[in-house]
A and B are shown apart, each in its own frame.
Chain A
Amino acid sequence: MATLLEVKGLETKFFTHEGVVHAVTDVSYKLDEGETLGIVGESGSGKSVSVLSLIRLIPQPPGKITGGEVWFDGRDLLKVSDEEIRQVRGNRIAMIFQDPMTSLNPVLTIGQQITEALELHLGMDKRQARARAVELLEMVGIPDAATRLDDYPHQFSGGMRQRVMIAMGLSCNPQILIADEPTTALDVTIQAQIIDLVKELREKVGMAIIWITHDLGVVAGLANRVIVMYGGRIVEEARVHDLYHRPYHPYTLGLLHSVPRLDAAHTGRLIPIDGLPPDLIDMPPGCPFAPRCTFKIERCDVENPPLEYVSSTRRVACWRWEEMAARQDGGFRG
């Protein structure tokens, strides 16, 4: 598959009163055509900032993209003009957020908001745009689409608003859909509806997806590849089966052990990850996970392990990844 997007050495900081927040540090990855990439990590690990940086939606100040390149369509999105990046956003790269209410305008009808984008980006006239808007709402499963077009956002339920956001995101046939925890605020039965819808649209439209979540369950059934973030960095990347069945990074392993599974035996106790996530203002010099890691050695406190390819499809940032791999792979490697 051809590479659609390539992020190289991305670095974003926030300059606040408390100090410099190292929100995203040295983040590099590729996204292939038609692929779904999951990004998982806990609150504050830099998931949102890393994707907002791609399309330059970082509030500036206090934020600043301080390094890196984002290659898309033969150009570096961090270097193109403001006008060019506006064309890319909402046209070639669409984004949906956790809380659709913040991205929908409460005083405009749903119809006005969808048709505006169609007229602006695709040059449709009013009638064409309206007809297409009805089509889009029908596509995302909103009943009575033609009438609902004249409703305001508050007249829709949370799940329906998220459907509207997806319809708007897809209205200009984007090549990439970035979804930032779009189901986190929804009930599980509604989450299942939305994921089902996205899978169906992915088949039909063939766009690539970056899906951000803190729920390891959600991307297990959706992503081809998963990136795990911790403390603003990527600590592991692998194909979905490898990541869940043979995690190499102690943090990934810890995350998988700390959640109860619906299908597992009632095991008595969970195995938590002790301690707290790192303070991104005062980053320790070594591995960001070291203070909480049960596999820590002395070196981890002083030297941050680089994110390295350990096979053609896997990357991991851990000094002890070989031992981890040996344990996980049942001794085949070790």
Chain B
Amino acid sequence: MAETLLEVKDLKMYFPVTRGIVIQRKVADVKAVDGVSFTIKRGETLGLVGESGCGKSTTGRAILQLYRPTAGSVKFDGKELTTMKGEELRRQRRRMQMIFQDPYASLNPRMTVGSIIAEPLEIHKISSGKEKQERVQELLRLVGLNPYFAQRYPHEFSGGQRQRIGIARALAVNPDFIVCDEPISALDVSIQAQIVNLLQDLQQELKLTYLFIAHDLSMVRHISDRVAVMYLGKIVELTDYKTLYDEPKHPYTQALLSAVPIPDPAIEEKRQRIILQGDVPSPLNPPAGCRFHTRCPRVMDVCRHVEPEWKNVGTADREHWVACHLYD
């Protein structure tokens, strides 16, 4: 079995909510990520799904130390990142990159495509001059773009092409690990498949490890080896893609899966949906006990008071982690 590349333990990321103009006073915390643990093996894709605001992007950013976590540990290739500083952290960061959702907002409109891709090479002092130019051309080819696009500006490209530029930039420094934060959500259906195939090819070719964030469950299932389901700052279930979809254990996962429309009218006619009541509560003041209890169709009394334990209900070689009192 492959070695562990990333180990996240009890990671917390709180954002202070302040009041007052002259003297800022902290009045509360947004508990965006509130104790999540998982590992990712080298060469693996871990999918992270959940509804808007549940803390997926924050998890990704806290792993990369773009936010300094409030608590918990992030070990990358055996080294603890949360206490690392300065040059040492910069060297590790080079091995971890991020691809963003919005191919429009994430590229500087005043820079040529070539300089956008070359920027990380300069920041990390990897190459310059002719060598740098050659690397840019090579990267453009790698992501399926014409090398002569280097002279052009982002607005001259379609969404899918801009996403390819973002991927080329992330690959410039030869990373081991990439956080893909909803890389296809803003793209047309027919273009999404192009980008997903590209990400899969690059993973094979360059032995990349992915954390793939999305709220499209069908796509996450397609691309991931294992999938983690997040709700209001916590991971509620984590297992291999097949087990998760065939035997979901957490009532939230079950509801989420049942809500995904399937492009087949014969199946849709027969489907029984689990319709959740109400909206996701605010992370400023999450419900006591199990955070899902306010919407859970199978809520029990204990769920309102006691937080369920995160445990493996599968076997040693087919792990199935879940946090739910139904499996106490």
Q: List the interface of chain A (C-beta within 8 A of B).
A: 42-43, 143, 157, 159-160, 187-193, 196, 214-218, 220-221, 240-241, 244-245, 254-256, 258-263, 266-267, 269-274, 276-277
Structural contact, B215 and A240, CB atoms closer than 8 A: no
Contact of A258 with B222 at beta-carbon distance under 8 Å, contacts A196-B273, A241-B266 already known? no
Residues of B within 8 A of A188 (CB): 51, 215, 217, 256, 259-260
A292 CA to B255 CA, complexed, in Å: 38
A267 CA to B197 CA, complexed, in Å: 12
Structural contact, B263 and A42, CB atoms closer than 8 A: no
Residues of B within 8 A of A261 (CB): 218, 262-264
Structural contact, B192 and A258, CB atoms closer than 8 A: yes
Residues of B within 8 A of A220 (CB): 261-265, 267-268
Residue of A nearest to B273 (CB): A192
A163 CA to B224 CA, complexed, in Å: 34
Interface string of B260-280 (1 = CB under 8 A from A): 111111111101010110111
Q: Indicate if B114 sits at the interface (CB-CB under 8 A).
A: no
Residues of A within 8 A of B265 (CB): 220-221, 240-241, 244-245
Structural contact, A221 and B268, CB atoms closer than 8 A: yes
Residues of A within 8 A of B259 (CB): 188-189, 191-192
Residues of B within 8 A of A191 (CB): 259, 261
Stretch at the interface among B70-78, B134-142, B183-191, B305-313: B183-191
Residues of B within 8 A of A193 (CB): 275-276
Q: List 14 A-B contacts (CB under 8 A).
A: A187-B51, A188-B215, A189-B256, A214-B188, A221-B269, A244-B266, A255-B189, A259-B189, A259-B218, A262-B262, A266-B221, A267-B222, A270-B197, A272-B190
Interface string of B52-79 (1 = CB under 8 A from A): 1000000000000000000000000000
A286 CA to B314 CA, complexed, in Å: 57
Residue of B nearest to A222 (CB): B268
Best-buried of B193, B196, B215, B261 by chain A (most CB within 10 Å): B261
Interface residue tally of chain B, by bracket? 35 or more
Residues of B within 8 A of A260 (CB): 218-219, 221-222
Q: Indicate if B242 sits at the interface (CB-CB under 8 A).
A: yes
- Per CB-CB distance, the 10 closest pairs between chain A and chain B, nearest first, are A217-B261, A221-B268, A272-B193, A260-B222, A270-B193, A192-B259, A273-B190, A216-B263, A258-B193, A187-B51
Q: List the interface of chain B (C-beta within 8 A of A).
A: 51-52, 158, 160, 188-194, 196-197, 200, 215, 217-219, 221-222, 241-242, 245, 255-269, 271, 273, 275-276, 278-280
17 additional A-B pairs beyond A221-B271, A259-B192, A266-B241, beta carbons within 8 Å, are A187-B52, A187-B280, A189-B51, A196-B273, A217-B261, A220-B262, A220-B263, A221-B261, A244-B263, A245-B265, A245-B266, A255-B190, A258-B192, A263-B262, A271-B193, A273-B193, A276-B158
Residues of B within 8 A of A43 (CB): 188
What is the minimal beta-carbon distance from B265 to any residue of chain A, in angstroms?
A: 5
Structural contact, A190 and B279, CB atoms closer than 8 A: yes
Residue of B nearest to A224 (CB): B265
Contact of A269 with B197 at beta-carbon distance under 8 Å, contacts A189-B255, A258-B189, A261-B262 already known? yes
